[in-house]
Amino acid sequence: MALPFLPYIVVGITHLVAILTGADTVVAVTKPLLMPALLLALLLSLPSRRGETVVLASLGILFGWLGDLSLMDLGPGFVVGLAFFLLGHVAYIVLFVRRMRSRRLPRWWSAAYVPWFAGLLAVLAPHAGALLVPLALYGLALAVLGITGSACSPWIASGAALFVVSDSLLGLDRFLPGFALPQVDLAIMLTYIAAQGLICWGVVRQARATAVVPSLA
């Protein structure tokens, strides 16, 4: 089951090394390949390419890909990228609630996403300007992603948490004056690549486990 994920891992590592070494051309080439490689892994690994699970998971990945392209130098820009990532989060939230839950309620620790959302919004609000409302909506969706993901498998819960970390770093880097985390681009992409990969891996594992149960009945 892990073999289809190998191209995603290779492209991801190559992209991160390119960021670390300042190989901008390699960064520009590998970034658009990340989500297609992950989508390929998803489609090759799922027991069925039909149904709600594959549609919603594919949408989460595809909107992530469009968001990646939008944030590149020649892309349409930050706001468009934000919209695509928001749509991807919504697709994942619906997937988690409808198909991926391993327990009825989110885990207790997911309550931490509420003060995280309030704190991040309070920090960024004075500098967001006209983007305050879109940022607030995006942050709310991100908090819901983390909370709903916590009710799923540890793989999905970890991926959702890393998505929160990645997007928080991106927001702080874009909007907070004086924010200077060393290698912030590397940190953003490392957590983003891990987040998408863990969510996809968790979806595949649960879908395969669910498919096995009826065959044993």
Tallying the residues shown for the chain, one arrives at 217
Q: How many structural domains compose the chain?
A: 1
pLDDT at 215: 45
Give residue-wise pLDDT tens across range 78-88.
899 999 999 99
pLDDT at 46: 92
The residue written with tokens 């907070």 in the block is 176
Cα separation of 144 and 135, whole Å? 14
- Assess whether pLDDT exceeds 70 at residue 114: yes
Average pLDDT over residues 54-73: 95
pLDDT confidence band for 1 (50 / 70 / 90): low
The two three-digit tokens of residue 92, written as one number: 């994942």
pLDDT at 212: 64
Give residue-wise pLDDT tens across range 131-181.
999 999 999 999 999 999 999 999 999 999 999 999 999 999 999 999 989
Residue numbers of the domain that contains 105: 3-216
Average pLDDT over residues 46-56: 89
- Assess whether pLDDT exceeds 50 at residue 216: no
Average pLDDT over residues 68-72: 93
Which of 213 and 169 is assigned the larger pLDDT? 169
- Assess whether pLDDT exceeds 90 at residue 112: yes
Lowest average pLDDT, out of 15-19, 76-80, 96-100, goes to: 76-80
- Assess whether pLDDT exceeds 80 at residue 2: yes
Residues 6 or more apart whose Cβ sits within 8 Å of residue 174: 78
Cα separation of 161 and 40, whole Å? 23
pLDDT at 128: 92
The two three-digit tokens of residue 166, written as one number: 């990645």
**Alpha carbons within 13 A on the beta-carbon side of 172:** 20
